[in-house]
Structure 1
Amino acid sequence: MGAPLWFVSIAALLAFSAADVLDDCQLVGGDKKSAGEQAVLAKLAPLKGKRFEAKTKEGSDDYKYSFVVCGRLSNDSKSTNEGLVQSKEGSTDTSVIGRINDTHIISGTDWILLIYGSGDKYDTHCNSEARKAMVMISCSKKTLGGDFTVVQEERNKSRECFYLFEMDSSLACPPEESHLSVGSILLIVFAVLVAVYIVGGFLYQRFVVGAKGMEQFPNITFWQELGNLMADGCDFVCRSRPRTSDTAYRGVGDDQLAEEPEERDDHLLPM
Structure 2
Amino acid sequence: MYSRLLCVCLAAVTVMAADPVVEDCILTGDKKSASEQAVLNRLAPLKHKRFDTTVQDGADSYTYTFVVCGGVQSGDKISNDGLVQNKTKTQEITVIGRVNDTHVLNGTDWILLIYKSGDKYDSHCDKEARKAMIMISCNKKTLADGFTIINEQREKMSECFYLFEMDSSVACPIEESHLSVGSILLIVFAVLIGIYIIGGFLYQRFVVGAKGMEQFPNIIFWRELGNLVADGCDFVCRSQPRSSETAYRGVGDDQLGEEPEERDDHLLPM
Show the counterpart of 2:148: 149
Q: 1:241 to 1:64 in 2, by over 3 A?
A: same
Q: CA deviation at 1:132?
A: 1.9
Cα distance in 2 for partners of 1:238, 1:218 equals 30
Q: In the alignment, is the contact (CA less than 8 A) between 2:23 and 2:79 conserved in 1?
A: no
Q: Would you say 1:62 and 2:61 are equivalent positions?
A: yes
Please give the secondary structure, in 2, of the residue aligned with 1:38.
helix
Cα distance in 2 for partners of 1:67, 1:213 equals 62
Q: CA deviation at 1:165?
A: 1.0
Q: Which deviates more from structure 2 when the two are superposed, residues 170-179 or residues 228-237?
A: 170-179
Show the counterpart of 2:27: 27
Q: Would you say 1:113 and 2:112 are equivalent positions?
A: yes
- Structure 1 portions without partners, runs of 5+: 1-20, 246-253, 258-271
Task: Deviation per CA, 1:142-196: give whole Å up to 9, x if none.
Answer: 6554432112223344543321112344444455644333222222222233233
Q: In the alignment, is the contact (CA less than 8 A) between 2:72 and 2:79 conserved in 1?
A: no
Q: Would you say 1:232 and 2:231 are equivalent positions?
A: yes
CA RMSD of aligned residues (A): 4.0
Cα distance in 1 for partners of 2:40, 2:112 equals 11
Task: Deviation per CA, 1:12-38: give whole Å up to 9, x if none.
Answer: xxxxxxxxx9443332213x3222223
Show the counterpart of 2:164: 165
Cα distance in 2 for partners of 1:72, 1:208 equals 61
Q: CA deviation at 1:108?
A: 3.4
TM-score (norm 2): 0.64
Please give the secondary structure, in 2, of the residue aligned with 1:160.
coil
Q: 1:111 to 1:224 in 2, by over 3 A?
A: same
Q: CA deviation at 1:90?
A: 0.9
Show the counterpart of 2:261: none
Give the letter aligned to residue 229 of structure 1.
Answer: L
Q: In the alignment, is the contact (CA less than 8 A) between 2:145 and 2:166 conserved in 1?
A: yes
Q: CA deviation at 1:203?
A: 5.1
Q: 1:126 to 1:181 in 2, by over 3 A?
A: same
- Structure 2 portions without partners, runs of 5+: 1-20, 245-251, 256-270
Q: Would you say 1:40 and 2:39 are equivalent positions?
A: yes
Give matches, 1:241-260, under 5 Å.
241-244=240-243
Cα distance in 2 for partners of 1:215, 1:23 equals 63
Q: In the alignment, is the contact (CA less than 8 A) between 2:138 and 2:172 conserved in 1?
A: yes
Please give the secondary structure, in 1, of the residue aligned with 2:27.
coil
Q: 1:155 to 1:233 in 2, by over 3 A?
A: same
Q: In the alignment, is the contact (CA less than 8 A) between 2:60 and 2:89 conserved in 1?
A: no
Q: CA deviation at 1:236?
A: 2.6
Identity %: 70
Please give the secondary structure, in 1, of the residue aligned with 2:37.
helix
Q: 1:65 to 1:213 in 2, by over 3 A?
A: closer
Show the counterpart of 2:15: none
Task: Deviation per CA, 1:22-62: give whole Å up to 9, x if none.
Answer: 443332213x3222223333443454444322111223331
Task: Deviation per CA, 1:228-266: give whole Å up to 9, x if none.
Answer: 232222223322333349xxxxxxxx9xx9xxxxxxxxx
Please give the secondary structure, in 2, of the residue aligned with 1:54.
strand
Q: CA deviation at 1:114?
A: 0.9
Q: 1:111 to 1:233 in 2, by over 3 A?
A: same
Show the counterpart of 2:96: 97
Q: 1:135 to 1:208 in 2, by over 3 A?
A: closer
Q: CA deviation at 1:88?
A: 2.4
Q: Which deviates more from structure 2 when the two are superposed, residues 126-135 or residues 98-107?
A: 126-135
Q: CA deviation at 1:215?
A: 4.7
Aligned length in residues: 229
Cα distance in 1 for partners of 2:203, 2:173 equals 48
Cα distance in 1 for partners of 2:211, 2:74 equals 74
Please give the secondary structure, in 2, of the residue aligned with 1:137.
strand
